[in-house]
């Protein structure tokens, strides 16, 4: 039995020694620098700062305590109102605020109006309309304001280590389905445990922010590599560098960098659609547009454009001298 701990230790040690995305990209740039005898050009990708949260908090101005809540006693909502109006209720996490509005709306919807007096019927209709509006207008906002999403959206993290995509995708899909179910009054009450477990998965996986970090870093490196390749365009076809470059394309870029870029694109295609669905409509602000959109000037557009321009730079350079990568002996 002692062999198993030893094997596990070896696997952990080996996996810890595997180069991450940043080292793969840096090694690729270093090879180009040495072969072309040129320093990598300066390149940066400015990104907007995360804004303060308070301007985006939903307005919950209807104070139930001022509207004779005792008239709603047959609806079973008085404990909810008391809990929400207490100090702890006012500072509850956004996900719990969301569940409060959902539970209030659900109970009011299923409360028989005939069990209420006229003032209770009026208050029930008023509150039910408000909860429906809140969940429709601000359901996505509550998810956005949750720590597990708010601090997980940008790119302030270490580059992504391949993995955890499937479980993160499943959590995002689950959260999106919960957002839809919030205003479906005929559905049973949304489970707090299900909601918190899905958010906890995002927190543990550190996706999508580590993916965004790698997309950012890959974009910068690809732009630098493109600059180096463009600098090599005037080289004579007989230059020593022109004989080595095809092998760098095949053995370094083709075998190490390109698979990494493919993994980044695959993760982006899996995670971004359900993330957008969950957070739509997100606030009109450059920070959210930068990480969720795909228009010029936004991260996703920068990333895919850098890949395209880098590919074009290789094609232009090698076609000029009718060069092609040397196939690896199989």
Selection from 170, 263, 159, 164 nearest residue 212 by Cα: 159
Question: How is 267-310 classified by DSSP, letter by letter?
Answer: HHHHHHHHHHHHHPSPPS-HHHHHHH--STTSHHHHHHHHHHHH
Q: Rg (Cα) of the chain, in Å, rounded? A: 27
Residue 10 CA to chain centroid, in angstroms? 33
pLDDT (tens digit per residue) in 182-201: 888 887 777 889 999 999 99
What mean pLDDT is predicted for residues 221-239?
93
Q: In this predicted structure, what is the pLDDT of residue 321?
A: 82
Question: Structure tokens of 324?
Answer: 């092609």
More confident residue, 9 or 155: 155
- What pLDDT is recorded for position 64? 57
Residue spans of beta strands (DSSP E) within the chain: none
Q: What is the DSSP string of 108-134?
A: HHTS-GGGS-HHHHHHHHHHHHHHHHH
HSE toward the beta carbon, residue 68, CA cutoff 13 A? 11
If you average pLDDT over residues 71-91, what whole number do you get? Answer: 81
In contact, 232 and 241? CB cutoff 8 Å: yes
Token pair belonging to 164: 């955890």
In this predicted structure, what is the pLDDT of residue 63? 54
User: What is the rounded distance in angstroms from the CA atom of residue 289 to the CA atom of residue 261?
Assistant: 22
pLDDT at 16: 38
pLDDT tens digits, 309-326? 999 999 999 888 876 665
Output the pLDDT for position 11. 33
Report the distance separating Cα 33 and Cα 241, nearest Å: 11
105-119 pLDDT per residue, tens: 999 999 999 999 998
At residue 207's C-alpha, the angle toward residues 47 and 27, to 5°, is: 70
pLDDT tens by residue, 265-312: 999 999 999 999 999 999 999 999 999 999 999 999 999 999 999 999
**Contact criterion met (CB below 8 Å) for 133 and 59:** no
Distances (CA, A) of 64 to 75, 80, 289: 14, 11, 35
pLDDT per residue over 125-160, tens digit each?
A: 988 998 888 888 899 999 999 999 999 999 998 888
Name the pLDDT band for 328 (thresholds 50, 70, 90): low
Under the banding of pLDDT at 50, 70 and 90, the label for residue 327 is: low
Q: Cα dist. 313→43, 111, 219 in Å?
A: 16, 67, 15
Could you tell me the end-to-end alpha-carbon distance of the chain, in angstroms, rounded to an integer? 39
Q: Which of 88, 12, 19, 37 is nearest to 231 (CA)?
A: 37
- Looking at residue 326, its pLDDT comes to 53
In the chain, % of residues over pLDDT 90: 61
Scan for tokens 């985006």, then name that residue.
56
Residue 66 has pLDDT above 70, yes or no: no
What pLDDT score was predicted for residue 109? 93
CA distance 328 to 193: 53
What pTM was computed for the model?
0.86
| 279 vs 80, more confident | 279
Please give the distance of CA 18 from its chain centroid, rounded to a whole number. 25
Q: Which residue has the higher pLDDT, 14 or 230?
A: 230
pLDDT at position 320: 84
Q: What is the pLDDT of residue 223?
A: 97
Cα 316 to Cα 232: distance, rounded to the nearest angstrom = 11
Mean pLDDT of the chain: 86
- pLDDT exceeds 50 at position 12: no
């Amino acid at each position: 039995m002692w062999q198993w701990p030893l094997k596990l230790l070896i696997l952990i040690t080996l996996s810890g020694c595997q180069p991450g995305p940043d080292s793969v990209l840096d090694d690729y740039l270093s090879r180009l620098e040495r072969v072309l005898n040129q320093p990598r050009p300066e390149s940066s990708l400015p990104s907007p700062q995360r804004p303060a949260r308070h301007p985006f908090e939903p307005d919950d101005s209807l104070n139930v305590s001022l509207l004779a809540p005792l008239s709603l006693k047959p609806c079973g909502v008085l404990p909810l109102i008391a809990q929400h109006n207490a100090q702890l209720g006012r500072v509850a996490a956004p996900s719990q605020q969301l569940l409060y509005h959902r539970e209030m709306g659900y109970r009011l919807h299923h409360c028989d109006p005939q069990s209420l007096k006229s003032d209770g019927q009026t208050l029930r209709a008023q509150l039910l309309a408000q909860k429906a509006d809140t969940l429709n207008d601000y359901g996505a906002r509550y998810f956005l304001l949750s720590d597990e999403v708010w601090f997980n959206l940008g790119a302030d993290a270490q580059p992504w280590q391949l993995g955890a995509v499937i479980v993160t995708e499943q959590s995002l899909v689950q959260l999106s389905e919960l957002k839809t179910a919030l205003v479906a009054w005929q559905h049973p009450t949304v489970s707090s445990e299900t909601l918190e477990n899905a958010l906890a998965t995002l927190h543990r996986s550190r996706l999508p922010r580590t993916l965004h970090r790698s997309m950012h870093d890959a974009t910068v490196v690809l732009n630098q590599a493109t600059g180096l390749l463009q600098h090599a365009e005037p080289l004579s076809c007989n230059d020593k560098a022109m004989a080595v470059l095809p092998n760098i394309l095949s053995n370094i870029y083709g075998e190490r960098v390109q698979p990494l870029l493919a993994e980044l694109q695959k993760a982006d295609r899996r995670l971004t659609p359900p993330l957008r669905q969950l957070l739509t409509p997100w606030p009109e602000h450059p920070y959210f547009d930068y990480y969720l959109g795909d228009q010029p000037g936004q991260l996703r557009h920068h990333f895919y454009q850098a890949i395209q321009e880098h590919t074009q730079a290789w094609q232009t350079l090698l076609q000029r001298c009718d060069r092609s990568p040397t196939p690896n002996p199989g």
